[in-house]
Amino acid sequence: MTATHNPQPTIGAQDAKALSQRLAESYKKESELYGAILDLTQKQRENLEASEGVREFISLLQRKEGLIRTIDKLEMLLEDDKALWVSFPEDQKAVCSEELNRVLDGIIVLIEQIMQVERENEKLLSARKEAIESELSSVRAGCAAAKEYGSNAGAKVVSAVS
């Protein structure tokens, strides 16, 4: 009885190229989603700058959350391909990774832009919150003054009648 030897399949340059193209296509889809998130984030900033209603801001936020969930699903689908890519020899990856690297670099730029606009939005939200708090304080003071005036006016009427 002879032992059978099952050699590991060799990973060739063609395999690396096909995988690189598949990853690049998937990341192009992600890039489009990140671009849509950036657009929505910029619309949120416009909403805040124009002091528009909160409903539109929340609607934009919900749309962004949906896109993020889609990106998460894509990333889960890519897990096997990413693990396989890591296992390829560096010399094979180097030959075919130019497009993949370009797409990934583009995603990094989009994420940085999203983060910048989000920081601006946080500042605008904070300023808007402070303005609302100030306005509420003024309204409360006005209500307290009106209540005080109302109770004093009643006392004057009672003293004038007696």
Q: Residue 6: which pLDDT band, with cuts at 50, 70 and 90?
A: very low
156 inside domain? no
Residue with tokens 């984030």: 41
Torsion sign over Cα 20, 25, 31, 37 = negative
Question: Six-digit token pair at 33?
Answer: 């989603």
Count: domains in the chain: 1
pLDDT mean over 134-149: 72
Examine the pLDDT at 7 and tell me if it is beyond 90: no
118 inside domain? yes
Residue with tokens 């805040």: 48
Q: Which residue has the higher pLDDT, 45 or 150?
A: 45
Supply the pTM of this predicted model: 0.75
Do residues 16 and 93 touch, judged by C-beta distance below 8 A? yes
Query: DSSP class of residue 51?
Result: T
2 inside domain? no
The tens digit of pLDDT for each residue in 75-132 reads 999 999 999 999 888 888 888 889 999 999 999 999 999 999 999 999 999 988 887 7
**CA-to-CA distance for 83 and 71, rounded, in angstroms?**
18
39 inside domain? yes
105 inside domain? yes
161 inside domain? no
140: amino acid identity, one letter: R
Q: Residue 56: which pLDDT band, with cuts at 50, 70 and 90?
A: very high
- Other CB atoms within a 10 A radius of the CB of residue 57 amount to 18
60 inside domain? yes
The tens digit of pLDDT for each residue in 9-33 reads 455 668 888 999 999 999 999 999 9
**Which residues constitute the domain of residue 55?**
13-122
**CA-to-CA distance for 64 and 58, rounded, in angstroms?**
10
81 inside domain? yes
Question: Six-digit token pair at 80?
Answer: 């096997």
